[in-house]
């Protein structure tokens, strides 16, 4: 499937996997990307899809709709009851996200002084690639276990969810798994902290001004 495909349709969705879930018929946007991901959106709830399947996926299309299957055997059945629009676009190569100065500074400084995050960490590489985007910093801890670090200026729920998706993809690599996650920000919002704890992700707050001072290091671990 070339490029990105946008389907606006009255549809119903059934997910079968670790649990079962169903979306009753309604008009929604179905987004299929060239990387193999599929997401079902409503005209609310901001950016978050109602249901989705991360790549790699197998997409089987029939006259009745789409059947999406991932390597774990989970399925997303999208019944297309009435198609209102169906268009595809080739978006071309994307240059990637340019982080703001604070995030860029944080990532660079933290990669040089990983002990601010956790004692015993050693750098594997910055911008470690996954099939859904790069992890800011990949490390090994003192025991040799893989640790993925995601850096944000302000730590919110979306950042924790982003790191959780990276961890899911990294755990597919037998050389890396199990991969532990640490979420680092100048401020971690309370809701993000709660979600991080539920996902088994550690949180570290750092002071950028003190981090820039080689002799002064500040952090709070939650």
- Where do the structural domains in the chain lie, given as residue ranges? 4-89, 101-221
- Confidence check: pLDDT of 22 > 70: yes
How is domain 4-89 classified at the CATH fold level?
Protein Yojf; Chain: A; (2.70.180)
pLDDT of residue 75: 94
Q: pLDDT tens for residues 92-101?
A: 776 655 555 5
Class of domain 101-221: alpha beta
To the nearest whole percent, how much of the chain has pLDDT over 70? 90
The 10 Å Cβ neighbour count of residue 19 is 7
Say what the pTM is.
0.55
What angle, rounded to 10 degrees, do the helices at 157-170 and 190-198 form? 20
Sort strands 180-188 and 146-155 into parallel, antiparallel or unpaired.
parallel
């Amino acid at each position: 499937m070339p490029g990105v495909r946008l389907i606006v349709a009255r549809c119903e969705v059934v997910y079968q996997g670790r649990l079962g879930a169903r979306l009753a018929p309604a008009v929604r946007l179905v987004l299929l990307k060239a990387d193999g991901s599929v997401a079902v959106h409503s005209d609310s709830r901001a950016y978050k899809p109602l249901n989705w399947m991360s790549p790699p996926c197998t997409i089987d299309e029939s006259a009745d709709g789409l059947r999406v299957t991932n390597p774990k055997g989970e399925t997303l059945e999208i019944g297309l009851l009435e198609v209102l629009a169906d268009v595809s676009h080739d978006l071309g190569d994307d240059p990637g996200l340019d982080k703001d100065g604070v995030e860029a500074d944080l990532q660079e400084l933290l990669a040089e002084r990983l002990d601010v995050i956790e004692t015993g960490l050693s750098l594997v590489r910055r911008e470690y690639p996954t099939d859904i985007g790069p992890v800011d910093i990949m490390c090994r801890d003192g025991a040799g276990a893989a640790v993925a670090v995601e850096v944000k200026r302000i730590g919110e729920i979306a950042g924790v969810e982003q790191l959780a998706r990276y961890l899911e993809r990294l755990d597919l690599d037998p050389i890396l798994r199990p991969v532990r996650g640490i979420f680092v920000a100048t401020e971690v919002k309370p809701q993000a902290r709660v979600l991080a704890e539920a996902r088994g992700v550690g949180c570290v707050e750092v002071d950028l001004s003190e981090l820039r001072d080689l002799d002064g290091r500040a952090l709070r671990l939650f």
